[in-house]
Structure 1
Amino acid sequence: MEWDEPVISERDLARTYNGGAYEDPWAAVLDYQAVMRYASEHPNKGSSAIATALEIPRGRIRPWLDNGSKPDPVHGIEIARDHGWLEATYHNREFQALNVLVANVFSGGSIRSDAFHPSFALNHQEYHSHVIDALEMTGLEFEFHHEDDPNRATEVRPTDGATVLGRTLATLGAPVGPKAKLEDFTLPWYLDDAPFEVREMFVLSYLANRAIHHRDKDTVHIQEERSKAYRDELAELIEDVAKEPVTSGERMVTISADAARSLGLQSRYRFPSEETE
């Protein structure tokens, strides 16, 4: 894939939807486009004539022509296009935000499988968490949840356009549904061919939520209960970005002190050797 080409396709986004009468939701998009194009070229033709000409059931296209309704995938594509997500290349500001949000789904968020609503837990920086900056870059409004619940992390959730954002993140490889139940859990496909800056930002966003620092050493850990294959994949990505040793083990990824320094990771402890009183 070329770096100056759009990363997300309309077809992939459409296929996150239920196609209704269509086995393939993308076919609904193609039919809708064909009907609208034919109607514009033949303004005197009614729904019956158009249905006959295009060999599409009249009952399916009449709401499109008479009421201005649209298949759900078409509506989602239009919203994604309006936000610049479908035109975004690896170097666009819009894709930078999506990349950070995908990393946050992996490391501190989720996408509901029933409606594709994404939510993101704030990390130790609370309302200064980088995920808020990323959501602001999308142009979507958002709101906070569980702020007064001491037993739950505060979450930030987009409001208008939330489901289209969730579907867009899913096309990029973000996991959908309870992550603990997902068997085929792997890093996003787009990282394989992405520029270094994209891979680096994914890693740093991931670590901002999951890095475990220590008072007496510069080594950093990530606790990962997922498969050994996923831990190996994650360690390989971090090592590729840091250019220093990163290893995976039993339920843990270990980022060496050299790798942590290369990544610019700042310990949460101002004085690592000082014991807490």
Structure 2
Amino acid sequence: MTGTAFVTERDLARTYDGGAYENTWEAVEQYRAATRYANTNDVGSGATASALDLPRSRIRTWVDQGGEPDAVRAIDTARGYGWLECTPDDDIFAGLNALVANVFSGGSIADSHYRPSFALNHRGEDSHVIDALELVGVDYQIVDDRDGRADEARPTEDGTVLGRVLAVLGAPVGPKADQLLSLPDYLVVGSVDVRETFVYAYLENRAVHHEGKDTMTITEERNDSYLSSLAVLINDIAGGGVTRNSESITISADAARSLGTVR
């Protein structure tokens, strides 16, 4: 699906469902209709509510005070960064794709407010995730001294909107051990380059290299269907040599050399 954007306004708005509005996309459409009508006709919330048959209590803040729903603000923010319009051929999508892989393989998105954190791998501040964050255009800070846990990169501005965009793309939200995970749908229809970026980013975080061997393994406590799908994806990119075991994935020496991930 080259040339097709994977993040839509509607899907991003729906990450806000269950808050102030039961159907947030409907609220976005009402906001746009109300502000368009008020601006075009130079009227206030009362006349706008009557003309559009909307509750004045809902649109008063929008029309009279310049407020807007959080989802509208998020849509405008995401558009400003280019996250909504980007396609698999764009550098921005390459960055988003790498960040999704990082959430699966070491990072996280908090289930409250969608705030993301991205684990740095053995390369430290030379980790792929730093390049990815720069591609998507957000500022970030490095958080270290985490009691033996990996250092993290955390967006400092608009991070929660980024987290929602990654969730729309298929990144898990909340503790991964408690979920039935599945790989993002865009990997099925995406190009080879898209799948390669995801696999390389994933392996940089999770692949274990064994001393004196080129063989690599990935060991994770995840649901069976997810591990099987991940093994199939890596095997496809490596051109064979990847096997799924009970709780791990083995990447043969030939496959590791084909992937170019041997240190």
Measured against the shorter chain, the TM-score band is over 0.9
Aligned equivalent of 2:159: 162
Q: TM-score, normalised by structure 1?
A: 0.92
Query: Which residue of the partner structure matches residue 150 of structure 2?
Result: 153
Q: Which residue of 2 aligns with 1:36?
A: 35
- Preserved CA contact (<8 Å) 1:142 1:158: yes
After TM superposition, the score normalised by the length of structure 2 is 0.97
- Give the unaligned 5+ runs of structure 2: none
**Greater than 3 Å deviation, 4+ residue runs:** 18-21
Which amino acid in the other structure matches residue 262 of structure 1? S
Shift of 1:18: 3.7
Higher helix share: 2
Distance 1:256 1:86 in 2: 38
What is the RMSD computed on CA atoms of the aligned residues? 1.2
The CA deviation string for residues 33-80 of structure 1, in whole angstroms up to 9 with x for no partner, is 11122123212x221111011111001101111111100100000000
Partner of 1:265: 261
Preserved CA contact (<8 Å) 2:44 2:64? no
| Offset of residue 263 of structure 1 | 0.7
Aligned equivalent of 2:175, options 158, 165, 178? 178
Code of the aligned partner of 1:10: E
Kindly, what percent of the aligned residue pairs are identical? 54
- Pick the structure with greater CA Rg: 1
| Residues 113-142 of structure 1, C-alpha deviations (whole Å, 9 max, x = no match) | 011000011111111111011111222111
Offset at residue 233 of structure 1 (A): 0.3
Count matched residues: 263
- Per-residue displacement from partner, 1:73-99 (whole Å, max 9, x unpaired)? 000000000000000000111111100
Aligned partners of 2:90, 2:137: CA distance in 1, in Å?
14
1:225 is paired with a residue whose SS is coil
- 1:103-122 matched pairs, under 5 angstroms: 103-122=101-120
- 1:21 is displaced (CA, Å) by 4.8
Q: Which residue of 2 aligns with 1:94?
A: 92
The gaps in structure 1 that reach 5 residues or longer are: 268-277
Using a 3 Å threshold, how does the CA distance of structure 1 residues 125 and 144 change in structure 2: closer, same or farther? same
| Separation in structure 2 between the aligned mates of residue 21 and residue 130 of structure 1, nearest angstrom | 37
**CA distance in 1 between partners of 2:7 and 2:105 (Å):** 22
Task: Quote the residue 1:79 is aligned against.
Answer: 77
